[in-house]
Amino acid sequence: MTETQEVAARRSADVQKPERQIVLNPPVDICEDAEGITLVADMPGVSKERLNIEVDKNGLLIEGDAHFEMPEGIKALYADVRSTRYRRSFSLSPELESNNIDATLKDGVLTLKIPKRAELRPRRIEVRVD
């Protein structure tokens, strides 16, 4: 390799951008009833310690890192899963109580229950007899 080629190779290496981390969008089901919204996200391999849920006035962010245990002495030759990082964000309606979210994680399934504001929930009116 000539000196010019070495300099060009070094410059090329210096200019290369760092690899982007691949992030998966977890599949999500969203259901609404009179009480509020239920969001169910499939995040296999994510534990409570590796899960992050952030909420602000107008948005919700869920993210987590999956960890898959491999038996000792075995390594994967091929894997369909190319990333172990999940991330998904949502816009929240102002009619939801974002400060009162109930979150549960079981078997890699995250369930968030986001209630509607009390004044927007249906309520039963009792009728008195005079």
Q: Which residues contact 34 (CB under 8 A, 6 or more apart)?
A: 116, 121, 122
Q: Mean per-residue pLDDT for 6-34?
A: 69
Beta strand ranges found along the chain (DSSP E): 28-32, 36-42, 46-55, 59-66, 85-91, 102-106, 109-115
Q: What are phi and psi of 52, to 5 degrees?
A: -130, 125
Reported as a single tens digit per residue, the pLDDT across 37-58 is 999 999 998 999 999 999 987 8
Mean pLDDT, the chain, integer: 82
Reported as a single tens digit per residue, the pLDDT across 91-125 is 999 899 988 999 999 999 999 999 998 877 777 88
Note the pLDDT of residue 3: 54
How is the chain split into domains, by residue range? Answer: 23-70+79-119
**pLDDT confidence of 74, banded at 50, 70, 90?**
confident
Which CATH architecture does the domain made up of 23-70+79-119 adopt? Sandwich (2.60)
